[in-house]
């Protein structure tokens, strides 16, 4: 069964959700990141997806204290992205407890550096974060786009050991209108040795069931959970059967 990975996006240490990656279109939720992580762990969730939106904008990690709290207060795995632009930032994120580091802008703008990280001692903990806007890779907190598409990056990094890619369709992020199914099934068919995580547009468990039926392996859900379109009980039941 497809693995559900709940998302926690951070601004100022608080849980937020953006719409289409627009910082001006954000909604803040009351529960603390640690409280949310504990709720997910209680539901049997093995991993959460945490994005440091302050860090993405500032080009350096900005909410590592939250990461430390989550790792100290739960036993859940954390994949962490946002602001990892150099070796120092990467080391700080891993030292704070991240199990996996999501690398986006560096992979697109400094591919040789990302290849070095993939081939290094922590290579298995590297996840390519491929955020797509109008078919192109978006970088710097989704504020700019490059000339590359997802396939270009995957082709480049496979020889260096790339195995995990999170693909976020920005046009659907926070819209609750369903994921870009053809995008993900096409990528999985083209690169069967890569594990692609679906991100963006999830609106209900029906979306997740449909992705599962298509053989996709991981899916990130954020706003649908906060807006109670996917309940914690549904996540619990799914995790028990996974």
Question: Phi, psi at residue 108, to the nearest 5°?
Answer: -80, -35
Nearest to 114 by CA among 76, 71, 148, 78: 148
- Retrieve residue 168's tokens: 């976020």
Side-chain half-sphere exposure of 79, counting CA atoms within 13 A: 24
- Retrieve residue 199's tokens: 């991100």
Report, as residue numbers or ranges, the catalytic residues: 9, 131
Q: Is 171 exposed, middle or buried (0-12, 13-18, 19+ CB in 10 A)?
A: middle
Write out the H or E segment, with its range, that includes residue 153: helix 150-157
Strands 47-52 and 136-139: unpaired
Side-chain half-sphere exposure of 118, counting CA atoms within 13 A: 23
Q: How far is residue 11's CA from residue 215's CA, in Å, rounded to a whole number?
A: 34
Question: Residue with structure tokens 């590592």?
Answer: 64
DSSP state letter for 160 = G
Question: Phi, psi at residue 12, to the nearest 5°?
Answer: 60, 30
């Amino acid at each position: 069964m497809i693995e559900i990975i709940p998302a926690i996006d951070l601004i100022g240490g608080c849980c937020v959700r953006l719409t289409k990656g627009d910082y001006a279109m954000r909604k803040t939720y009351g529960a603390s990141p640690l409280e949310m992580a504990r709720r997910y762990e209680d539901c049997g969730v093995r991993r959460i997806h945490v994005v440091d939106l302050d860090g993405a904008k500032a080009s350096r990690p900005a909410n590592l204290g939250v990461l430390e709290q989550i790792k100290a207060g739960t036993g859940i795995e954390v994949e962490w992205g946002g602001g990892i632009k150099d070796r120092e930032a990467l080391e700080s994120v891993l030292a704070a407890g991240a199990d996996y580091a999501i690398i986006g802008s560096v992979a697109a703008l400094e591919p040789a550096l990302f290849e070095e990280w993939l081939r290094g001692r922590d290579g298995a903990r590297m996840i390519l974060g491929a955020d797509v806007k109008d078919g192109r890779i978006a970088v710097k907190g989704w504020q700019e786009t490059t000339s590359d598409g997802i396939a270009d990056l995957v082709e480049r990094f496979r020889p260096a050991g790339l195995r995990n890619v999170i693909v976020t369709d920005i046009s659907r992020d926070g819209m609750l209108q369903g994921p870009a199914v053809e995008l993900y099934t096409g990528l999985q068919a083209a690169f069967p040795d890569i594990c692609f995580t679906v991100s963006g547009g999830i609106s209900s468990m029906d979306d997740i069931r449909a992705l599962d039926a298509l053989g996709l392996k991981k899916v990130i859900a954020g706003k649908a959970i906060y807006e109670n379109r996917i309940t914690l009980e549904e996540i619990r039941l799914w995790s028990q059967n996974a």
